[in-house]
Structure 1
Amino acid sequence: MSRLPTRTDTPPAKPDPADKRAAWADAAKGVCIILVVLWHVVVKDYLQIDWHIGVPVPGLWGALGEQFLPLRMPLFFTISGVFAANAVLRPWRVVARSRVAGFLYLYALWLLIHTAILALAPDLPTDRATSLLGLLEQLTITPSNLWYLYALALYFTIAKTVRRVPRALVLVPAAALSAVAAAGLLDTPGNRAGLYQNLVFFLAGLHLRPQIERWAATANRRRLVLTAGAYVLALAAMAVAGAQRWFGVWPLVSVVAVAFGVTAAARLGRWPALGDRLATLGRITLPIYVIHMPVLALLHRLLHAPVSGLDGVGQGLIVLGYPILLTGLVIGVSLALHRGLLAVHARWLFALPTSRRPAPRHVAAAR
């Protein structure tokens, strides 16, 4: 998503078939944004419904969503780092405006929008500011559900600052920070944990871009099976041993998950029927990311009571597919709202407005 805010005003161009890197990376982002919305649907709406069907289907959906936690955001930030590799080479003034200020602007703007809309759905279990002090805290030290944008602004600043530092001296401290946060050795209220844990994946995507692209370009079926198996085994071992809070375990499992995610995305990119659709979605993740939570909040307010009030037969008909249907609805409504906002020239909602200075007279005359 690190390159999206400047491209929301035009339909995404179809990637060049020869550009395999863009195809697999965008497909990976498409999968990640689906998993983000699905997780929010499950945790914030689906599991809050009063299900009385006698079978543990809701619990199974919750358990399934948890298995993607080491994959979803680490892979998202790894891809963002890959796309950031060229951006951090630009002058400070360019990076400061287009990336740091751009993402901070989007974060602050949409935080205000979320705060206003989420007040209309007080039963939705999500972080929200309920006072000016709470809003100030979310703006500064404890980011809200929009923490991905906050993180990108911070990560770009760090990446640009340490650009000339040897790679090992950048990645090792970031990995240590991730391990410390995942082990619960730091105070991580709100979404600070994700902020601390994922810096290493953004920096790895940036510094290891050639290796990651080579891994994707050489992905084959055998590697897909091996990485998928390694991920499943890592999840099982972590669960059986209760090792989620052991120092270094969560980042290590996330590395295995990212290796699987890149491999799977590269393989999906070779199936045009599915890969192209995921890549198209992956190029418009920004509007989905910023709009989906208010949409979910309003749908939760609309649907919670009626679905909870259905009898056992009615709930039995929808309990299995409800998260999938609602995820698709939330994404579809988010994209429709995005198109509508662009149609009324509200591009400022998705990118930092630019000030265009009038051209000098001699330049205008030459035109």
Structure 2
Amino acid sequence: MAETQNAPAEIKKPARRVYVDAMKGLGIILVVWGHFEEYYRGNSPIFNGSFECMYLFHMALFCLCSGLVAKFNVFKLIFQQVWLYLLCQGGLLLFRQYVLTEDLTAAGDTLQLLVTPWRHMWYLYALIFWELTVPLLALLRDKLWIPGRILGLAAAVALGLWAGGMEWKYSLNRVFCFFPFFAAGVLFRQEIDCWFRAAMRFIPLRLLSGAAFLGVYGYWMHLILEAPEPVYEGARIFNDVAYNDGYTMEDRAWFYLIGILTSLVLIAFLGNVRTLASLGKRTLPVYIMHMPVYAFLVELGTYAIAGEKEVAAVAGWVFLAAGGTICLFASAPIAGLFNLVANIWYKLLPAGVLAIWRAIRSRLDGQKNLTA
């Protein structure tokens, strides 16, 4: 009886939230599609319109999901996130130098190249900084309740708005700009969980959310297609740049509002789609590898050749290139390999340290028994 009472309780891992995985799955599709069609921006209203619509919310959705699952762990931060960023950034430097044949000497020394994210690597880079804020955000969320959550989000938005007033080195502009979405995920985790459950329980709420998303973005797409002049909003959708060329603080404020509201609508509308959730569990290799694939295809000249065709053929090329990349790197073998590499220190190092400690304890206990 005593052994039963003193036995440690079984620790169960928290269940994965299906809507978070589903939104990550949707997000990675939009990220890859957006990058793979970026080459053709300005060539057709269809590409301009789809690009404009996606870039209003797709990274907001991704950042919100990261905040929803964020937990501060110094060991994980160093031996998983920092390790993964440095490994991937270093590998991409070799790819740029020897495959894309870029001249990297003008970009600075090796250290500067490592701390300046290449293209999409800014997201892994930003997560390192954002994770450092989780203890404070969690304190505001758990100790001050609703006032603390509102205060935390207001401070994050204020920081993002202020940061747009100057140029930042090392992609810190993106770290500041997208931080409010991450903070919203941390601060309003419980409320967003309740929102998803309500949408699953009340089907009209889910249908209304879907109709609102399709209606608003369909209308915006229609306006772009029918515009007398090509709609090519560069600075206004790349909200990670400093305020200039007609891009203002008000534009960034609207970007925050649109991104958060669209994310909530999509959570209610598509949060229980199991196919998206399955893909959402394997986003890491897709995110890391899609940009090298795109850059390599451009370097080979395939994008220039495809651009000479009709719009339908070009769209088909983008669909096949983006879809093939997603399917390849989301496959179980490649996803498993990437997860192993990403977690090799985070999972194996603690086990090794624990094994050494147990061996030392066993040896000490053996010596004590011999002495006795």
Partner of 2:322: 327
Can you list the C-alpha shifts for 1:67-96, whole angstroms capped at 9, x where unaligned?
A: 211211111111111111xx23xxxxxx11
- Which of 30, 45, 55 lines up with 1:69 in the alignment? 55
Can you list the C-alpha shifts for 1:112-167, whole angstroms capped at 9, x where unaligned?
A: 1111112345489xxx9555725433533666521111111111112224543443
The 5-angstrom pairing of residues 102-181 of structure 1 reads 102-122=80-100, 130=105, 133=108, 135-140=110-115, 144-161=119-136, 163-165=138-140, 166-181=148-163
Read off the aligned partner of 2:76 and give its amino acid letter: S
- Which of 20, 31, 36 lines up with 1:25 in the alignment? 20
SS of aligned partner of 1:321: helix
8 Å CA contact 1:120–1:298 kept in 2: the answer is no
Partner of 1:10: none
Partner of 1:197: 177
Distance change >3 Å, CA 66–CA 137, structure 1 → 2: farther
8 Å CA contact 1:100–1:154 kept in 2: the answer is no
Q: Normalised by the size of structure 2, how large is the TM-score? A: 0.71
Can you list the C-alpha shifts for 1:191-212, whole angstroms capped at 9, x where unaligned?
A: 4332111111111111111111
- Whether 1:210 aligns to 2:193 is no
SS of aligned partner of 1:164: helix
Distance change >3 Å, CA 188–CA 229, structure 1 → 2: farther
Distance 2:149 2:108 in 1: 39
User: Offset at 1:283?
Assistant: 0.8
Can you list the C-alpha shifts for 1:239-272, whole angstroms capped at 9, x where unaligned?
A: 89999323243343343333233332433244xx
8 Å CA contact 1:26–1:283 kept in 2: the answer is yes
User: Offset at 1:322?
Assistant: 1.5
- Whether 1:47 aligns to 2:40 is yes
Distance 1:199 1:26 in 2: 20
- Whether 1:225 aligns to 2:205 is no
Distance 1:27 1:167 in 2: 25
Distance 2:339 2:189 in 1: 34
Task: Quote the sequence identity (%).
Answer: 23
Partner of 1:185: 165
User: Offset at 1:23?
Assistant: 1.6
Distance change >3 Å, CA 299–CA 350, structure 1 → 2: farther
Return 5+ residue gaps in structure 2 as ranges.
Answer: 1-13, 141-147, 200-205, 225-230, 237-246, 366-372
Distance 2:175 2:165 in 1: 14
8 Å CA contact 1:288–1:334 kept in 2: the answer is yes
Distance change >3 Å, CA 109–CA 279, structure 1 → 2: same
Read off the aligned partner of 1:211 and give its amino acid letter: E
Distance 2:218 2:109 in 1: 39
Partner of 2:280: 282
- Which of 331, 341, 348 lines up with 2:341 in the alignment? 348
SS of aligned partner of 1:79: helix
8 Å CA contact 1:243–1:249 kept in 2: the answer is no
Return 5+ residue gaps in structure 1 as ranges.
Answer: 1-15, 49-55, 89-94
8 Å CA contact 1:29–1:285 kept in 2: the answer is yes
Q: Normalised by the size of structure 1, how large is the TM-score? A: 0.72
Distance 1:159 1:103 in 2: 15
Distance 1:234 1:135 in 2: 44
Can you list the C-alpha shifts for 1:197-228, whole angstroms capped at 9, x where unaligned?
A: 11111111111111111222223212332355
Partner of 1:339: 333
